[in-house]
Amino acid sequence: MSSEAGSSDHSKQYQWYVIVTLMIGYLFAFLDRTMIGLMVGPIQADLKINDTEMSLLMGLAFTLLYSIAAVPVGYLADRWNRVRIINYGAILWCLMTVACGLSSTYWQLFAARLFVGLGEATLSPAANSLISDYFKPQERAKALSIYNLGIAGGAGLSLVLGGQLIAMLTASGGINWGVPIVDDLAPWQIVFVFLGLSGLVFVAMMSAVKEPVRTGRMSGDTQWTFAQTLTYFRHNYKFYAALCLTMTMLSIVTFGALAWIPSFFVRIHGWSPAQAGLYYGIASLIASVIGMIFSGWWIDRRRAKGEKDAAWRALAFGIIFFVPFYVAAPLFSTPWITIMLLGIGVFGASLATIASPTVLMTATPNEARGTSIALIYLIINLLGSGFGPTLVALLNDFVFQDPKAVGWSISIASIIGYVGAVIGVSLGLSQYRKRLEAMAE
């Protein structure tokens, strides 16, 4: 096996420019992906759709092409220029976010969301592979924690700034620039256009990133065929199945809550979207940033002390002890208690968010890292983040048949996800240790 020393051709300052740039890309991607959850009311009113149809825009419409395209993209990332892959994808998702804002029917918006997902499918497989080559193994958890701050920033800012932007545009009646198409856009449409154009900043920043030398290959300069990669996964299916189950069920909890909690505050507590976004966004942002930074620091520290399975332990700790707070949060009549409990749940989910790619990168050879991320994300996004918002909506529309039962729907969906995640994380520890031993050999 070639050395796992990480790239030595670049300065520390340049390495951190790369990781910050990738983090900003993830932030813009998550902004484009999650802002829609804050605009449920206006979109439903304009397009005349129910909760289930809305959930498909938030979940399936985005995750369908995102998940399917991730597999060929991941395979491509294992053998082609990863920087170019990310840049081409970023241009596509920015333009398609603008197209979301120009959509005037349900199916136009659905189609635009599909292609936002297609563009964003290029980011994580290529970015995780880049990070594994720019940073040494003992530094990767910290680097991945910085990259994944994009999730925290994107989700938090989409709530905090998005709510204020929507309120401002609603109060002013939109934009009156004397431009026919722009002046006719509703506030929620203007938000999408603004997000799409803003994301082009990331494309400009990526132009200064160089493709690093690949490290940690099991077969020297020989590239695996797709058949060889699938054979590798088949031989180690117990480990990858446990990780898939864990993160898929966790995604049902987190994305179900992220999509519907703003509507919960609006429907149950009478808050405006701006209030819901501000308070929930601040709590989510603080908790996720602390959780991600702590997770990266703790994993690297424990690994340096000889605990090779520290990443899986962090994954289990975050899920078992903190995710139950998602279940309890919507059941309280006081909104501030709900905010506090959600913050605790977000902290635990953030530990797992950093731990899971660290687990994957440390247990998978370079030849299959991009493909492994893609295959895992295919399952996680289709069954987890794609189904999480829809599960809440189905419970709301067909079980409770009451928009104001959204809190109970979120809690039940969270229970289902939590039980599955605990089963997965319990089954996977021994398999992860076996993979680490195999990698060491």
pLDDT at 174: 66
The C-alpha torsion from 270 through 272 and 274 to 280, rounded to 10°, is 20
pLDDT at 217: 58
- Listed as ranges, residues in the chain with pLDDT below 70 are 1-9, 173-183, 216-222
Tally of CA atoms within 13 A in the half-sphere of 85 that contains its CB: 27
Q: What is the Cα–Cα distance from 252 to 419, expressed in whole angstroms?
A: 11
pLDDT at 376: 84
Return the domain boundaries, the chain. Answer: 12-215+223-440
DSSP state of 439: H
Q: What is the Cα–Cα distance from 118 to 96, expressed in whole angstroms?
A: 9
Q: How many CB atoms lie within 10 A of CB 164?
A: 16
CB 143 within 8 A of CB 356: no
* Nearest to 207, CA basis, from 88, 356, 100, 114: 88
Q: What is the Cα–Cα distance from 326 to 62, expressed in whole angstroms?
A: 23
CB 374 within 8 A of CB 244: no
pLDDT at 398: 94
Q: What is the Cα–Cα distance from 79 to 213, expressed in whole angstroms?
A: 12
The one-letter code for the residue type at 114 is: L
Q: Which CATH number, 3.40.50.1370, 1.20.1250.20, 3.40.50.300, 1.20.140.10, labels domain 12-215+223-440?
A: 1.20.1250.20
* Nearest to 245, CA basis, from 116, 122, 61, 380: 380
Query: Two tokens at 351?
Result: 């530990």
Contacts of 40 (CB under 8 A, 6+ apart): 54, 260, 262, 263, 266
* Nearest to 363, CA basis, from 249, 250, 440: 440
* Nearest to 278, CA basis, from 63, 105, 38, 55: 38
The pLDDT tens digits of the residues spanning 357-370 come to 889 888 988 778 77
